[in-house]
């Protein structure tokens, strides 16, 4: 069980977590750059973890994502992909916000700054929405069946169905939290287009919202990371003309976790995030 919790424990303040955070954030965050010893320790730890995760290897077929994948750490925001590392403040300036979305984002940030963050769907045990669900720090399992790829998310038992039959959404398809997903292959890349969303979710946990015109295009590609392990990249393109002046692309990666099985997650039982009058009360 310790290995299953390893990234959660890192987030609680070990030396390796400090090194990881320092690698990912601007020096202005206050911790300063990581030392060579911290970087070396983090690399050794990552290599050891990767070796264990891949002891039960991923399928050899690059189109076969069957099994469990799990993102490292937790980043509660989505930001545009850039060609160089940026601080959170820099990357936030690249968000192509319409005036409507800029005002909405400012309101979310202001409410959080006074300790009253606005509740979104998962705080009430509703499905997280897309792409919000892809940033969750819980395992994801891909399951293949004829004409369908199913994504099982441990968090709140969210389930996404990717229809691979090449047909558009049927007439009368309802608007839902997770939308309607249609997929196809471009080489070894799985392209998934999702629409038919309701407007009750957010793009990310921090501040980004959307409306009924949201369309999300994901491009899933397998690759071998620098530790020799299998990893999955999800390039996420977000379009909603009422909230963003142009389409923009974020990214998440998910190492293969051959050592993990999806576990039960009961959001409804003792939900500490349950909102009161639309405000999340968990501290």
10-residue stretch averages of pLDDT, the chain, 283 residues long: 33 33 44 89 96 97 98 94 92 97 97 91 94 97 98 97 95 98 98 98 96 98 97 98 98 98 89 70 57
Residues 207, 124, single domain; the answer is: yes
Query: Is the Cβ–Cβ distance between 209 and 243 less than 8 Å?
Result: yes
> Do 3 and 120 reside in the same domain of the chain?
no
Vertex 128, ends 243 and 197: CA angle to 5°? 50
Task: Based on the fold, state whether residues 74 and 29 are members of the same structural domain.
Answer: no
- Do 174 and 42 belong to one domain? no
- In terms of domains, do 198 and 270 share one? yes
38 plus 76 within the same structural domain:
no
- Is the distance from CB of 107 to CB of 249 less than 8 angstroms? no
Q: What is the pLDDT of residue 31?
A: 66
User: What is the per-residue pLDDT for 180?
Assistant: 98
Supply the DSSP symbol for 66. Answer: B
Same domain, 205 and 117: yes
Number of independent structural domains in the chain: 2
The β-bridge partners of 279 are 118, 276
Domain housing 225? 60-280
Which pTM was predicted? Answer: 0.85
- Examine the domain organization and report whether 40 and 117 are in the same domain: no
The verdict on 93 and 2 lying in the same domain is: no
Instruction: Tell me what pLDDT residue 268 has.
Output: 82
Q: Measure CA 216 to chain center.
A: 13
12 and 146 inside one domain: no
**Confidence (pLDDT) at 32:** 78
pLDDT at position 88: 87
Q: What are the tokens at 3?
A: 């290995």
pLDDT at 56: 97
Question: What pLDDT sits at residue 276?
Answer: 74
Asked whether residue 65 falls in the same domain as residue 29, the answer is: no
């Amino acid at each position: 069980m310790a290995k299953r919790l390893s990234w959660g424990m890192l987030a609680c303040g070990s030396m390796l977590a400090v090194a990881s955070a320092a690698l990912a954030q601007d020096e202005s965050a206050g911790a300063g750059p990581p030392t060579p010893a911290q970087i070396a320790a983090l690399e050794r730890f990552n290599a050891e973890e990767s070796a264990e995760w891949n002891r039960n290897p991923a399928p050899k077929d690059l189109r076969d994502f069957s099994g469990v994948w799990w993102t490292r750490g937790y980043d509660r925001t989505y930001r545009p992909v850039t060609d160089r590392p940026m601080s959170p403040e820099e990357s936030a300036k690249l968000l192509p916000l319409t005036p409507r979305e800029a005002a909405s984002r400012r309101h979310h940030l202001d409410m959080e700054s006074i300790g009253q963050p606005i509740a979104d769907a998962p705080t009430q045990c509703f499905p997280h929405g897309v792409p919000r669900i892809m940033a969750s720090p819980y395992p994801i399992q891909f399951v293949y069946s004829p004409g369908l790829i199913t994504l099982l998310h441990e968090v709140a038992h969210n389930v996404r169905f990717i229809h691979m039959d090449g047909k558009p959404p049927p007439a009368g398809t309802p608007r839902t939290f997770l939308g309607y997903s249609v997929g196809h292959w471009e080489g070894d890349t799985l392209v998934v287009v999702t629409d038919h969303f309701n407007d009750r979710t957010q793009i990310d946990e921090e501040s980004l919202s959307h409306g009924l015109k949201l369309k999300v295009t994901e491009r899933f590609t397998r690759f071998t990371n620098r530790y020799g392990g299998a990893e999955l990249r999800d390039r996420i393109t977000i379009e909603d003309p009422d909230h963003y002046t142009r389409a923009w692309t974020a990214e998440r990666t998910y190492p293969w976790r051959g050592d993990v099985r999806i576990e039960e997650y009961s959001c409804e039982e003792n939900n500490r995030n349950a909102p009161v009058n639309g405000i999340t009360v968990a501290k």
